[in-house]
A and B are shown apart, each in its own frame.
Chain A
Amino acid sequence: MATVPESPSRPALVSARGLIKRFGGFTAVDDIDFEILSGESFGFLGPNGAGKTSTMKMVSCVSPPTEGELTVLGKDPRTHGPEIRARLGLVPQEDSLELELSLMDNLVMYGRYFDLPRAEIRRRAQNLLEFTQLSERANDKADNLSGGMKRRLTIARSLISEPDLLILDEPTTGLDPQARHLVWDRLYRLKSEGVTLIITTHYMDEAEQLCDRLVVMDRGKIVAHGAPRELIGQYSTREVLELRFGLGGHGPHVGSVSDLADRVEELPDRLLLYVDDGDEALAAVHARGLTPESALVRRSTLEDVFLRLTGRTLVD
């Protein structure tokens, strides 16, 4: 199975070998290996149901592995769960804020779970509210926040214990583009401060922006691993030409363009031509007398990598 190569200079904060999670007869995580190094930003990219959240729950020592070896911060989650969790920050997929309490009280209460002194929690909470741009709302009820603000408050909450490892499960799912960019900006800052991040996402742009290295997961397995640009270089061409042919369907056109590209993918609403030079390919398409309703030349993304590896799109 795919093994992520290890850089010798930095210690591994998380390492998994042959990790398996089953729920009854269903195998959610099927024999995966990975290693996450100190200071890096590591992604798990895959569609819903790929096993990302189950993997995160095992890494965050909430859910015990069914089989395999897992070490987090040098310890075994099965025997040292509370000690490991004391050094982790977790941003779960579903917000679980105390909506009746103020932002400040949410942070204070969470900090108490780590047995931090109250004065210290308040000091940190003030800094974190500032960091997440929520200072002005400190005494508002959490219920009054927008979706993006709730996510930022959840991130602030996860940082109250000054964790060595921050785990974010789908940090921007359900947010509008502006709110997403704010969250990304804050995560980028954490990353540049040297905080180790683990991010699961089904958004390829999120993975490309935030992750130094990532694994692509599908149906419980790791299907590829590497840096985002490496993966794109390895599994896709430099550019992609997207052609839309209107209501007649795209099937009939596949044959007439297939020799122009390394590979052609037919999606319900468009054809993707994998080429090195998109403009040149488009000119060739026009030269053949074909008249697509619209055409778009873009760079390859992780979405294309995923399509290549699994034959499916990430977000459906």
Chain B
Amino acid sequence: MALDAGLDTARGSSQPRLGWAPWRRALWYHAYFWRRTWRASIVSSFLYPLLYLASMGLGVGKLVNAHAGGVQGVSYVDFVAPAFLAMTAMQIASNESMWPILASFKWTRSYWTAVATPIRPRDLVAAKLAWVAIHVAMVGVIYTAILAAFQTLLSPWAVLLPLAGVLTGLAFAAPLAAYVATQENERSFPIFYRFAIIPMFLFSGSFYPISQLPKWLEVVVQFVPLYHGVALCRTLSLGQGSLAATLYHVAFLVSLTVVGTVLCLRNFRRRLEV
């Protein structure tokens, strides 16, 4: 066994190594905790899309299909199914970026622990965002498989759905993490849920096309990140929508991710290097 090897050889190979992607070591931290709850996490990743599909397909869908003959030329369940992926990505990204980040600064102080080692603030940002991406990707693959099993995916582009989910997740996680890094307490978090997450959930064209909204609201929705996530997922799933519109959705989400990441790097550094 390597453990029984002489102390000197063991030491020789075990000096702290540098330059070997420190953020990956910080990423390991997230994986470590996830390992303890992954079963529950996987079960809910299967369960939620099944519940959504059952409720929307069997309940609301039946009504819509009977009275309006589907939505945008497809059955209601096909229309609404890809939106669940975008909404779930938003949910995962928000949950990962709010309390856990504040806790790492204030309660468990694990960010302070990390920066006393070779880890730098930017490694923590990279690890956090990479973890959100991995988490959403895992859930996205399961979602996509379930949607395929229920034959709600109408286009081969649907294989890119997990990626669209990741992009949606990052567009939420990066700006949110940057904001949370400036906070001393969680008082504003429920407000964010009430006045951002829930309205986005209801008004981002997940359950009906935004053309159903009054004109002014339709314009407002154009600036809502979740709308672009939903639209992108739906485009890939149904094979509808122009290339220009699709690129615009991608550009919107990428811009939010980039701006959020830059602010994150700044705010993490400001907070941890005082």
- Spell out A's residues near B (CB within 8 Å): 23, 60, 62-64, 81-83, 85-88, 90, 92, 94, 96, 98-101, 105, 109-110, 112-117, 119-120, 122-123, 161-162
Task: Compute how far the CA of A110 lies from the CA of B28 in the bound complex, rounded to whole angstroms.
Answer: 10
Does B26 lie within 8 Å of A113, measured CB to CB? yes
Interface pairs A-B: 3 shortest CB-CB: A96-B109, A113-B117, A86-B16
B13 to chain A, nearest CB (A): 7
Contacts of A63 in B (CB 8 A): 273-274
Does A120 lie within 8 Å of B14, measured CB to CB? yes
Does B118 lie within 8 Å of A62, measured CB to CB? no
Contact of A109 among B18, B32, B112 (CB under 8 A): B32
Does A94 lie within 8 Å of B109, measured CB to CB? yes
Contacts of A90 in B (CB 8 A): 116
Known: A62-B273, A96-B108. A116 touches B14 (CB 8 A): yes
Known: A63-B273, A87-B16. A112 touches B25 (CB 8 A): yes
Known: A96-B109, A110-B113, A112-B25. A82 touches B3 (CB 8 A): no
Contacts of B210 in A (CB 8 A): none
- Spell out B's residues near A (CB within 8 Å): 2-3, 10-11, 13-14, 16-18, 20, 22, 25-26, 28-29, 32-33, 36, 108-110, 112-120, 272-274
Contacts of B28 in A (CB 8 A): 109, 112
Does B3 lie within 8 Å of A115, measured CB to CB? no
Does B29 lie within 8 Å of A109, measured CB to CB? yes
Task: Compute how far the CA of A88 lies from the CA of B16 in the bound complex, rounded to whole angstroms.
Answer: 11
Main secondary structure of the interface of A (DSSP, over half): loop
Does B2 lie within 8 Å of A105, measured CB to CB? no
Contact of A62 among B2, B108, B115 (CB under 8 A): B115
Task: Compute how far the CA of A98 lies from the CA of B28 in the bound complex, rounded to whole angstroms.
Answer: 14
A139 to chain B, nearest CB (A): 14
Contact of B25 among A23, A85, A96, A113 (CB under 8 A): A113
Known: A23-B274, A86-B18, A113-B26. A81 touches B120 (CB 8 A): yes
A131 to chain B, nearest CB (A): 15
Task: Compute how far the CA of A100 lies from the CA of B115 in the bound complex, rounded to whole angstroms.
Answer: 20
Does A161 lie within 8 Å of B16, measured CB to CB? yes
Known: A62-B273, A99-B108, A115-B25. A83 touches B18 (CB 8 A): yes
Contacts of B119 in A (CB 8 A): 82, 113
Residue of B nearest to A158 (CB): B116
Known: A82-B18, A114-B118. A119 touches B108 (CB 8 A): no
Does B118 lie within 8 Å of A85, measured CB to CB? yes
Task: Compute how far the CA of A23 lies from the CA of B270 in the bound complex, rounded to whole angstroms.
Answer: 13
Known: A81-B120, A96-B108, A119-B2. A114 touches B16 (CB 8 A): yes
Contacts of A116 in B (CB 8 A): 14, 16
Known pairs A62-B115, A113-B118 / 17 extra A-B pairs, C-beta < 8 Å? A82-B118, A82-B120, A85-B117, A90-B116, A98-B108, A105-B32, A113-B26, A114-B117, A115-B17, A115-B18, A115-B20, A115-B22, A115-B25, A120-B10, A120-B13, A123-B10, A162-B11
Residue of B nearest to A64 (CB): B273
Contacts of B113 in A (CB 8 A): 92, 96, 110
B34 to chain A, nearest CB (A): 12
Contacts of A162 in B (CB 8 A): 11
Task: Compute how far the CA of A117 lies from the CA of B119 in the bound complex, rounded to whole angstroms.
Answer: 16
Task: Compute how far the CA of A96 lies from the CA of B29 in the bound complex, rounded to whole angstroms.
Answer: 14
Known: A62-B115, A115-B20. A96 touches B110 (CB 8 A): yes
Contacts of A123 in B (CB 8 A): 3, 10
Contact of A98 among B16, B110, B272 (CB under 8 A): B110
Please list 8 pairs of residues, one from A and one from B, whose beta carbons are closer than 8 Å in the complex, sorted by A's number: A109-B28, A110-B113, A112-B29, A115-B17, A116-B16, A119-B3, A120-B14, A122-B3
Task: Compute how far the CA of A90 lies from the CA of B115 in the bound complex, rounded to whole angstroms.
Answer: 11
Contact of A85 among B2, B10, B108, B116 (CB under 8 A): B116
Contacts of A113 in B (CB 8 A): 25-26, 114, 117-119
Known: A92-B112, A115-B17, A123-B10. A86 touches B3 (CB 8 A): no
Contacts of A23 in B (CB 8 A): 274
Does A96 lie within 8 Å of B2, measured CB to CB? no
B98 to chain A, nearest CB (A): 18
A211 to chain B, nearest CB (A): 22
Contacts of B110 in A (CB 8 A): 96, 98
Contacts of A98 in B (CB 8 A): 108, 110
